[in-house]
């Protein structure tokens, strides 16, 4: 079902899930669409439409069972299936992403980092080792991991992208502020942080 959902719907479902996790920890059994809409500043009708898409039904004047809706989202978005990834680039952003423990709640596990800086190679970020980028192909072959999170500077991003694809990686989550080129069977998702900030400013009319 995930493939049939729009990106905006998936984004909203991840936000619902965060709220549901908090409610679950507080032992709150039910949540209403109006509560979700108020917390996220979105239309209540949109919340009900999204929940209907994943085949979850609520109770009139009571709301949705938190445990049921949470599990539905986990199933639809494959949170229970762990997907391992390598971070390519052990700079500030790469390190920050590697330290973000909540990725595991959404089915993502950072297995290791790669860099070309000799001073960083062999050191650890928490329990994750930083390897020489030259070892990427060997590590991909040993582990079967086929997801790379690219956090290198813009000026070397394309060169590193070429090395990543040559190593056998098929999926790249790109945080470098540039559009990467790769053969058609390589799937690249460009994370546009600046675009998101500009959109936020426009929506909230921040001057």
**29-62 pLDDT, tens per residue?**
999 999 999 999 999 999 999 999 999 998 888 9
Checking if the pLDDT of 1 tops 70, the result is no
d(CA 161, CA 188): 10
> Which CATH number is 2-76 given?
1.10.10.10
Is residue 157 within 8 A of residue 163, CB to CB? The reply is no
**What mean pLDDT comes out for the span 94-120?**
95
Share of the chain above pLDDT 90, in %: 81
Domain spans in the chain, listed from the N-terminal domain onward: 2-76, 83-194
Question: In this predicted structure, what is the pLDDT of residue 71?
Answer: 95
Question: In this predicted structure, what is the pLDDT of residue 206?
Answer: 81
Question: In this predicted structure, what is the pLDDT of residue 192?
Answer: 77
Question: In this predicted structure, what is the pLDDT of residue 68?
Answer: 97
Q: What is the full DSSP assignment across the chain?
A: -GGGS-HHHHHHHHHHHHHHHHHHHTT--EE-HHHHHHHHTS-HHHHHHHHHHTT---BTTTBEEHHHHHHHHHHHTTTTS-EEEEEE--SHHHHHHHH-GGGGGGTEEEEEEEES-TTTTT-EETTEEEEEGGGHHHHHHHH---EEEE---HHHHHHHHHHHHHTT--EEEE-SSS-----TTSEEEE--HHHHHHHHHHHHT--
> Which CATH number is 83-194 given?
3.40.50.720
**144-202 pLDDT, tens per residue?**
999 999 999 999 999 999 999 999 999 999 999 899 999 999 999 998 777 777 777 77
């Amino acid at each position: 079902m995930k493939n049939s959902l729009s990106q905006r719907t998936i984004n909203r479902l991840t936000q619902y899930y965060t709220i549901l996790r908090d409610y679950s920890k507080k032992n709150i059994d039910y949540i209403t669409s109006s509560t979700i809409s108020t917390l996220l500043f979105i239309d209540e009708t949109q919340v009900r439409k999204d929940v209907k898409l994943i085949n979850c039904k609520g109770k009139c004047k009571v709301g949705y069972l938190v445990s049921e809706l949470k599990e539905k989202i986990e199933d639809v978005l494959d949170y229970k299936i762990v997907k391992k990834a390598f971070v390519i680039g052990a700079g500030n952003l790469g390190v920050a992403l590697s330290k973000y423990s909540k990725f595991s709640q959404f089915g993502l596990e950072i297995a290791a980092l790669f860099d070309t800086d000799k001073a960083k190679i062999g050191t650890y970020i928490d329990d994750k080792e930083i390897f020489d980028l030259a070892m990427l192909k060997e590590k991909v072959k040993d582990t079967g991991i086929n997801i790379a999170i690219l956090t290198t500077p813009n000026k070397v991003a394309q060169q590193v992208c070429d090395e990543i694809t040559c190593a056998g990686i098929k999926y790249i989550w790109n945080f470098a502020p540039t559009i990467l080129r790769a053969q058609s069977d390589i799937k690249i998702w460009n994370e546009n942080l600046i675009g998101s900030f500009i959109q936020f400013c426009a929506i909230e009319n921040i001057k």
